[in-house]
């Protein structure tokens, strides 16, 4: 994919809110979700964000505004899940984006018809936009790994330099932004103890991640080459991989996380397409002092365009703060460009043994942390393992998450000469465990 007219900064929409400074959803973005009007019995259907509105794709499909491949793509995207659109392939995704761009741009002769399909975002509720077949979560930030190892007095594993580490997550507990996260139960070992206890997690944490939606998969036994891996991504969203740190520390060896990770994963409702993100790709590199990837994880394309410069922010809003209508304090600001392994390398490694990815599969990037102070993507890093409470604002501190806390992620891209585009928000609220100790 190459830059084209849909990325031009000078283009404007006839919808005024799409042209406002700081909007997440200008004409150059056009992310997709599945929505309906809040508290209604309406069917779920696909929608596209523009300014403070949503283009109802089911309503648009009933018009004659698009023809050919674009019309077919709009009809597929109007369904209760977006898998049918993904199955149509990259040409259809591009036709959908370009058709919507034309319909929403100043001067469109169908403005009145398209305007009649709009639904205010403030009136909408969302659901997970896809039937997710499989979910793989990675561990690919060197800064995160170093930050977590220091308070434990351990070192980063030797394999971290050589492969993108991952585990397979639980699809059934994935939900959309607004998810209620019940504090999980499990076994953990208290400081100084030699045997575990069973109870509610005491060290509940979030993990700031990017979720990648697989658009087209591969046949079993046919790996996806690194140079082609980005072409298999339909789009990106914000992802919170909630983690029970005390349970995780006890159960990790030798097979990895289980109860510490399977209780909740939250995704943002909007999927920003790979085409919309083209202006924000960056070169990927690794310092010469560290081992360089093996041949199947190295390509000229990945070196030139493998990273994405996505700005990310985390905040926590306590229950009392929320009740008082207070604004949260920013705890972390970082960028996805710092990741030690790229999404392309994750996909190439995932499939190199013959594994077949499928459209609608979800890839978690792993916690995203940067090299500087204030760029840590999890509380375990910010608090140095819970030793140093972090200020969440308005006189409150946290070592780990408390019941009633709402964790908020935001993401956006900015680059001179291009429009700012955003991902909206991803938030979830911690509830007490429903299980008795």
For the annotated catalytic residues, the residue numbers are 144
CA dihedral (371, 374, 377, 378) positive or negative: positive
Other Cβ atoms within 10 Å of 316 Cβ, number: 23
Residue 165 — φ and ψ, nearest 5°?
-75, 145
* Alpha helices (H) in 12-61, listed in sequence order: 57-61
For residues 409-433, one letter each, b for 16 or more C-beta atoms within 10 angstroms of the residue's C-beta and e for the rest, the string is: bbbbbeeeebbbbbbbbbbbbbeeb
> SS3 of 204, please?
strand
Q: How many CA atoms does the CB half-sphere of 186 hold within 13 Å? A: 27
Q: Name the token pair of 133.
A: 């077949």
Residue 112 — φ and ψ, nearest 5°?
-60, -40
Counting every residue written for the chain, the total comes to 437
CA dihedral (265, 387, 385, 286) positive or negative: positive
Residue-by-residue DSSP string for 270-323: -BEETTTTGGGEE-----TTSPPPPGGG--HHHHHH-EE--EEEEEEE-HHHHH
Angle at 344 between CA 230 and CA 304, to 5 degrees: 80
CA dihedral (81, 86, 87, 91) positive or negative: positive
Which residue's structure tokens are 């990675």?
138
Q: Strand pairing of 243-244 and 208-214?
A: unpaired
State which H helix or E strand residue 430 sits in: strand 421-431
């Amino acid at each position: 994919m190459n830059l084209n007219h849909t990325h031009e900064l000078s283009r404007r929409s006839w919808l005024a809110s799409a042209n406002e400074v700081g909007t997440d959803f200008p004409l150059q973005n056009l992310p997709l979700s599945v929505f309906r009007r809040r508290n209604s019995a309406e069917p779920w259907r696909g929608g596209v964000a523009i300014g403070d509105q949503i283009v109802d794709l089911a309503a648009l499909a009933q018009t004659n505004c698009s023809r050919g491949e674009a019309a077919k793509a709009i009809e597929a995207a109007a369904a209760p899940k977006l898998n049918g659109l993904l199955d149509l392939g990259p040409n259809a995704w591009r036709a959908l984006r370009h058709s919507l761009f034309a319909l929403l741009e100043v001067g469109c002769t169908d403005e009145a018809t398209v305007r009649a399909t709009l639904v205010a975002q403030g009136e909408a509720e969302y659901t997970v936009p896809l039937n997710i077949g499989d979910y793989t979560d990675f561990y690919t930030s060197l800064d995160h790994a170093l930050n977590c190892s220091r308070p434990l007095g351990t070192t980063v594993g030797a394999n971290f330099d050589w492969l993108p580490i991952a585990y397979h997550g639980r699809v059934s507990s994935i939900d959309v932004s607004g998810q209620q996260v019940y504090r999980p139960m499990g076994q953990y070992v208290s400081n100084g103890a030699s045997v575990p206890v069973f109870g509610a997690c005491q060290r509940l944490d979030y993990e700031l991640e990017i979720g990648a939606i697989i658009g087209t998969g591969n046949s079993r036994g046919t790996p996806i080459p690194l140079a082609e891996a980005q072409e298999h991504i339909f789009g990106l969203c914000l992802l919170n991989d909630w983690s029970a740190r005390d349970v995780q520390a006890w159960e990790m060896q030798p097979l990895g996380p289980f109860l510490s990770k399977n209780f909740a994963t939250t995704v943002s409702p909007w999927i920003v397409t790979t085409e919309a993100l083209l202006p924000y790709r960056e070169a990927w590199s690794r310092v010469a002092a560290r081992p360089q990837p093996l041949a199947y994880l190295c390509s000229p394309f990945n070196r030139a365009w493998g990273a994405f410069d996505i700005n990310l922010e985390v905040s926590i809003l306590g229950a009392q703060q929320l009740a008082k209508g207070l604004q949260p304090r920013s705890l972390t600001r970082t960028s996805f460009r710092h990741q030690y392994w790229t999404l392309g390398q994750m996909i190439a490694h995932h499939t190199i043994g013959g594994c077949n990815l499928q459209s609608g599969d979800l890839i978690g990037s792993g916690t995203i942390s940067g090299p500087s102070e204030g760029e840590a993507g999890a509380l375990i890093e910010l608090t140095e393992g819970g030793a140093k409470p972090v200020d969440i604002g308005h006189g409150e501190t946290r070592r780990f998450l408390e019941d009633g806390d709402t964790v908020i992620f935001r993401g956006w891209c900015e680059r001179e000469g291009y429009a700012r585009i955003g991902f909206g928000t991803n938030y979830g609220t911690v509830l007490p465990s429903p299980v008795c100790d």
